[in-house]
Structure 1
C-alpha cells in the first residue's frame, strides 16, 4: 500500500494496520530476499544433475630450430591450433546430489518459518500499538469529562464569589483544581499523540494528520470471560509456533547433509565426452599449404571415457564432518526442547495474567460503581454545604482514578485474550 493510499483513507481497522505494517517493514523485505536466495540454492543444486558443456579453442605458433636424435638441426616454425567441445556427467555420486537438493529444500522451508516468526512479532506489536491508542483515547474521554466538570464548578463558584456568597479561598481552590485537570487533559492528549506516533512507526509510515484508526471495536462493548484449558492450548501453541517448525526442518536438513557427507566415502563415476579437431601448418614449407578447413575435417575425433574416483585416505575429513553434523543435530534438539519449555512457561504466564486481569476487571467494575455513587453523594453534600470543595475534588479525583483503572484493566484483558487466541490459532477475532 502506497503513501497516497494512506493519505486518501480516513480510518484504518486493526487488520488494515497489520497488513500495512507487514507490507512496509524493511526487516520483512530482507527476510523475503533471504528466502529468494535460498530458493536459488535449491535451483543451483538441481542444476548439478545436468551435464556441463564447455567449448575450447587455442591458436599458437612456434619459431626457431630444434635438433633431432641424430644431431641434425632444422627449422621448426609452425602454426597450429585446436577446436572442440567437452562434456562431463555424474553417473554415480551415491546420492550426494539428491540429498543436497533435499537439504536445500529443508533450509528453504526453515527460512520460510523465520519469515513467519518475524511476521508474528510484527503482528503482535501492531496489535499492542493499536490497542494502546484506543486505551489512551478512552482514558482521555474520562479526563475530558473531569475537565468539563472542573470548568463548570469554577464558573458556578466564580458567579457565587462575585455575588459575595463564596469566599476567595474556595474560588482559588476551584481555579487550582481546574488548572490541575487542564494539565491532566494536556498530558492525556500528548499520550494519545505519542501512542499514535508509536503505531505509525510500527507500521513504517510517515506521521500524518489524515491517519486515524477505527475506535469502534466490537470486542470492547462486551468483554466475555475466557476459560482456557492449559493442556489443549499448549498443544495448539506447539502446532502453530514457527520456531518449532524451523528447528524440526533444520534437523531434517542436517540429516540429508549427513548422507551427502557420507557419500564421499564411496567411489564416484563420471562420464566424459570430447569432440574436437586440430590444425597444423609447417611454416618452413610455405604458409597455408595445408588448408585449414580440410585439416579440421580430416583431424576430427571423438573421445568417450569414464572417470572413476576411489577415495582411499582423506585425512578423516569425512569422519570429522559427520561428527560435527551430529553435534549440530544434538544442538537443534536441545534448542527445540528449550523453545518448547519457553512456550510452556510463556503460556502459563499469559494464562495467569489473563485470570488476574479478568478478576481485576470484575473488581474494578464494582469499585467504579461504588465510586460513582460516592461522588454523586459528595456532589449533593457539597451543594448542601455539608462538605468542602476539597472533599468534592478528592471524590472527583477518585472517580477519575477508578475509571482509568477500569479502562486499563479492560484493555489488558482484551490484549491478553487476543494474544492467546492468535498464538494458538493464528487468527485474530475481534
Structure 2
C-alpha cells in the first residue's frame, strides 16, 4: 500500500481542522485523529496488502501455465540448416516459434494447502490491522487521561499557592506592624517556595503528558489542556475478571490474529509434506520453424546430356546419352514455412521424488518450528492478556474503594483546615499547625484526584478488553 503525499496532507489537514474547529477535544476526537494518520496502522495495512497479493498468487497457481517463445537469428559460416538438418556454409537466417501449456493434476494437495495457508495469513493480517487500531485507541485513551489528571494536579497546585499567598500577605502586614510572630511569616515564605516548586513540577508533568498525546496523534499542532473534555461516571463492573477475560478472547483482534497465524502454520506443515508425493502434470506443445536455406524446386522440362560412358557395337564405340529433368529453385516464404513446419505434442509428466538431499524432510521440520512458534505466541498472548486483565480489574476495584474513603478524608481535612485556619488567623494556632493542616488537605486532594483518574483509566482498559468502543 503506497502512502501518497496527498494522503498524508489530507490527514494533516484533517487534524488541524478538527483541532481548530472545536473548542473542546473529546476522547473520541483524539482517537479519530490518531487512527487517521497513525504509522503503526498504516504499516499493518501495508502488510495486509502484501498478504492479499500473496493470496492472489496462491489462487492463480491453480490455473494452467501457458507460455509462448519466439526467436529470429542470423548464422554465418558452417552451420546446420534447421530445414534439412544438413551442414551448409552460407549466411543462414533462422527462426523458431513455440507455444506450450502445462497444468498440475496432482502434487499431494500442495497448491490447495498453499491457497488455504495464504487465505489464513490474509485473514490474520486483517486482524493485525484491527489489532494496531485497537492498541492505538488504548494508548490514546491512557495518554488522554494522563493529561486530564496532570491538568487537575496543576489546578490543585495553583489553588494551594493562592491560599498560601493570601496568608502570606496577611502575615506580611502584621510583620510590618510588628504585631505578628516573625517565625510564622518565614514559615509561610518557605511554604510559598514549596508551593511554587510544586506548580513547576505539575506543569512539567502536564507538558510531558501533552507531548505524549501529540506524539500519539502524530501532529505538531498545539493542544491546549483546557480544550480536552471527558464525561466521567463511576459504575459497577457487571463481570468478574474471568468473565472479562472470556469476552476478550472472543473480541480482541490480537487473539484472533494469533489463532489464524497458528492455523496458517499448520497448513504450512501440510504444504511441506507434499514434497514427499509424486507430482503429475499434463503438457502440450506446438512448435514450428523457418530457415532461409529452405528451397522449393519446380520442374521446367528435360534435356539430353552426353555421358562419359560408351558402348561398342561391331568394334565401333558409341557415346551414351541420358535424359535429365531440369528444375528451378525458389525460396519459401516465412509464413508458408511456419504453416508447413507445424508440429504438436501432448503428454503426461510424472515427477517422483527419490532423493533431494533431505530438503523435503528439513522443510517439514522448519514448518513444524514455525507452528511451534505460533503456538507459543498464542499462549503467551493469552497469558499476558489474562494477567493484564486481572491486574487492571484489581486496580479498578482498589481505586473504587479508595475513592470513597478518600472523599471522606478530604471532607474531614477540609473541616480540620477551616478550624485551624480560623485559629491561625486569630493567633491561637502556630504556623506549624496551620501548614501541617494545609498540607494534609492538599495531599488528600491530590490522592483523591490520582485515585479518580486511576479508576477511570482502569475502567477504560476493562471496557477495551470487553471489546467495547472506548468513549
Indicate yes or no: 2:293 matched with 1:282. yes
* TM-fit CA distance, 1:33: 0.7
Indicate yes or no: 2:426 matched with 1:414. no
Q: Which has the higher strand share?
A: 2
Kindly provide the CA deviation profile for residues 191-249 of structure 1, in whole angstroms up to 9, marking residues without a partner as x.
2222111111121111425686423x221xx4234364233222112222333322321
Gaps of 5+ in 2: 1-10, 81-85, 297-327
Corresponding residue for residue 8 of structure 1? 20
**Alignment TM-score, normalising by the size of structure 1:** 0.88
1:142-291 matched pairs, under 5 angstroms: 142-208=156-222, 213-215=227-229, 217-219=230-232, 222-226=233-237, 228-282=239-293, 289-291=331-333
With over 3 angstroms needed to count, the CA separation of the structure-2 counterparts of 1:370 and 1:59, relative to structure 1, is same
* TM-fit CA distance, 1:272: 2.3
Residues 295, 331 of structure 2: 8 Å contact kept:
no
With over 3 angstroms needed to count, the CA separation of the structure-2 counterparts of 1:172 and 1:257, relative to structure 1, is closer
Gaps of 5+ in 1: none
Corresponding residue for residue 83 of structure 1? 97
With over 3 angstroms needed to count, the CA separation of the structure-2 counterparts of 1:229 and 1:394, relative to structure 1, is same
Residues 214, 223 of structure 2: 8 Å contact kept:
no
Residues 7, 211 of structure 1: 8 Å contact kept:
no
Residues 295, 330 of structure 2: 8 Å contact kept:
no
Indicate yes or no: 2:427 matched with 1:385. yes
Give the secondary structure class of the aligned counterpart of 1:49. coil
Corresponding residue for residue 36 of structure 1? 49
Give the secondary structure class of the aligned counterpart of 1:84. strand
With over 3 angstroms needed to count, the CA separation of the structure-2 counterparts of 1:152 and 1:310, relative to structure 1, is same
With over 3 angstroms needed to count, the CA separation of the structure-2 counterparts of 1:301 and 1:145, relative to structure 1, is same
Corresponding residue for residue 317 of structure 2? none
Partner residue of 2:129 out of 115, 118, 123: 115
Corresponding residue for residue 58 of structure 1? 71
Aligned partners of 1:37, 1:6: CA distance in 2, in Å? 32
Aligned partners of 1:394, 1:65: CA distance in 2, in Å? 113
With over 3 angstroms needed to count, the CA separation of the structure-2 counterparts of 1:358 and 1:308, relative to structure 1, is same
Give the secondary structure class of the aligned counterpart of 1:282. coil
Kindly provide the CA deviation profile for residues 379-404 of structure 1, in whole angstroms up to 9, marking residues without a partner as x.
11112221022321221121111100
Aligned partners of 2:379, 2:88: CA distance in 1, in Å? 82
Residues 6, 211 of structure 1: 8 Å contact kept:
no
Q: Which runs of 4+ in 1 moved over 6 A?
A: 283-288
* TM-fit CA distance, 1:287: 11
Corresponding residue for residue 466 of structure 2? 424
CA RMSD after TM alignment: 2.8
With over 3 angstroms needed to count, the CA separation of the structure-2 counterparts of 1:83 and 1:365, relative to structure 1, is same
**Alignment TM-score, normalising by the size of structure 2:** 0.81
Aligned partners of 1:122, 1:116: CA distance in 2, in Å? 10
Residues 11, 211 of structure 1: 8 Å contact kept:
no
* TM-fit CA distance, 1:410: 0.9
Aligned partners of 1:140, 1:66: CA distance in 2, in Å? 95
Residues 244, 465 of structure 2: 8 Å contact kept:
no
Give the secondary structure class of the aligned counterpart of 2:331. coil
Q: Which moved more, 1:58-67 or 1:111-120?
A: 58-67
1:293-372 matched pairs, under 5 angstroms: 293-372=335-414
* TM-fit CA distance, 1:284: 10
Give the secondary structure class of the aligned counterpart of 1:2. helix
Aligned partners of 2:336, 2:108: CA distance in 1, in Å? 45
Kindly provide the CA deviation profile for residues 302-348 of structure 1, in whole angstroms up to 9, marking residues without a partner as x.
33333222333334433343344334334433443333333222222
Q: Which has the higher helix share?
A: 1
* TM-fit CA distance, 1:282: 2.1
With over 3 angstroms needed to count, the CA separation of the structure-2 counterparts of 1:166 and 1:74, relative to structure 1, is closer
